[in-house]
Amino acid sequence: MLYDNIMVPYDGSPSAQAALAEAVRFAKDDPGLTLRIVHIIDTEQLAIDKLEAEGRDEQIVSTSGTLQATFAAVTAEAEERLRRRIDPLLKGLMNKVHVELLQETSPGDQIVTYAVDNGCDLIVMGSRGLGALRGMLGSVSSFVLRNADVPVLIVKEGTNE
């Protein structure tokens, strides 16, 4: 087959869901293909939001170790939500599938770096994510398209329905 190691940046948006569905189609045609689903989250913001919802101040709890425990809890919750979303799409797939959560710093750079570091030979991603948009493509997909050294397949929402 053309590709052996496909990366799918996934943020839960309809466009990312369409991209994952397209990558799964590639995988079903080639059982030796590896899928790498990468979800980039802002653990720090999620932890702060959780603490605020519980009526606690992150500045106070950071000294007691509660902030680190909250980071771990929100990461586990994010991973569980991710699994609930993607597992139905992966059902019956015989391929190797790696699912990873990365702490957000710069999503575009992280996607390009991850693809290089993990030997990905194709990036399949949605045209628009959950963040701000730039023109026809989202700012992250536009960045990846310009900076990745491997082919990038941009999938529009609704193309797999």
Residue with tokens 């979800």: 39
So where are the chain's domains? 5-41+85-155
pTM confidence score: 0.81
pLDDT in tens, the chain (161 residues): 689 999 999 988 888 999 999 999 999 999 999 999 999 887 666 666 777 777 766 555 555 566 677 778 888 888 898 999 999 989 989 999 999 998 877 889 999 999 999 999 999 999 865 554 333 446 888 899 999 999 999 998 765 44
Q: H/E element holding 24?
A: helix 14-29
Structure tokens at 120: 């990905």
How far apart are the C-alpha atoms of 158 and 18, rounded to whole Å? 7
CA distances (Å), origin 80, targets 17, 63, 66, 73, 143 = 16, 28, 21, 11, 28
Model pLDDT, residue 62: 57
- Residue for token digits 């799918």? 8
Q: Residue 36: its pLDDT value, please?
A: 97
> Of 140, 137, 153, which Cα lies nearest the Cα of 102?
140
Which has the closest alpha carbon to 124: 159, 93, 96, 74?
Answer: 159
What distance lies between CA 75 and its chain's CA centroid?
13
Q: Give the single-character DSSP code of 102.
A: E
Give CA–CA dist 104/9, Å, rounded: 12
Residues 6+ apart with CB under 8 A from 87: none
Q: Which fold has domain 5-41+85-155?
A: Rossmann fold (3.40.50)
The alpha-helical segments, DSSP class H, found in 30-161 are 43-53, 58-61, 66-90, 107-117, 139-147
